[in-house]
Structure 1
């Protein structure tokens, strides 16, 4: 089975039972105001979905999906071995996402049907970009942070990734960790291996690299979306990390 399997389907109004052996994303291509869905039971609850909304369900999910109008949709299934590369074991449970889909994940997923057309390197790169975005959303404990025992520090990591476009401050992070700024900085570097500032810069640039490859946002808009008000500074940091400018990176 390929790392990512994407299929576009059309079904008449109705619905029925579903069973998902692997982690799967579904994206509706038309509005379904009367959509109903259940998980682990036969009692479907009203969950209206619009075009480009959908669901992200863990492996092993079972239930009922019903809709009163013809349905056009895309499903994207991730192979267990691909998720394993990101430290997510097969069958990892998480809170199902039903409704809005993260815009980066949505953009990558809608293009998944054409992954193979770009050759093996493109397909492998895009499949891993998709998996990385899914892993960030379901928020398992990252393998690289497995040694973090303090829940307060894990809470800070979630806060950072959820607010990369914002003006993050050391004071806000320290408050979340219930520490003074000095003690927090030392504890963070001891557990993560780099300073909070270095971590934030790395996270912002990693997200920027995904946006450059999967969206049509301009370089200045991507800079803004990952927390840089100064495009020149963003470009300097990006080139330092990836060895090329954002514009050249997009063309690779």
Structure 2
């Protein structure tokens, strides 16, 4: 029998717990009793905590009683994970991480692992809206922005919320077989492997910003006139700068080249049209500055992992 332990703390996201735990619970239906997963909840503070949605949870044991030698140790996310400090939990996690077979964070639970010093030098991910914050707060971590979940040795980190289900299914498949994991996925009405990553859900560039610097004036102009043709030379002219100086300054301030920004702005424009209209793909491509539906399709598959037609089916 394998033990799946979950730590509880105030203001956690309930779905980060419920999703993966249901995967392990349903897997038990297909496993012999000696192969079952035993689920254990561990309190880091009070034995009773409230999740971010107001539901009260009561832990099985306190970390002072927790052995630490579990098969899977799960750290959920939520506002409490990135807004609060839990010194006792962080200390316990540092010790327990060397005893458990797998340490896993769901969504922003990666911030708690980071505060425990468990992300340094490791490939990790979190919810797309927090990847930049995670990278800034833990610069020694190698943060990947588009993965559903990432495994680095015995450390697993997952993206936003429901990706905890994907992570748990991968553990089932590894522990037993893909057929068992597939059976669980069918019960939950989810796919075993999603097409594309988190980038499908996140904007590639921010909205128009209130900043009157030359670089941001050009940035905002591109966002408001994305169907126009742009080159580095044209954008540099709009900023009244030389092309070379503009390209260097733009890349330094926005962390992408001018043409990468134009491409991302066009993809975001097309996504909005696909989500909110029934316009033909050719029209969407034209209005977003791609020139052709074929070119748009190529960039969607390259950047988002799926073609525009499938994006529309999933998000409109």
Instruction: Give the alignment's TM-score, normalised by structure 1.
Output: 0.41
- Give the alignment's TM-score, normalised by structure 2: 0.33
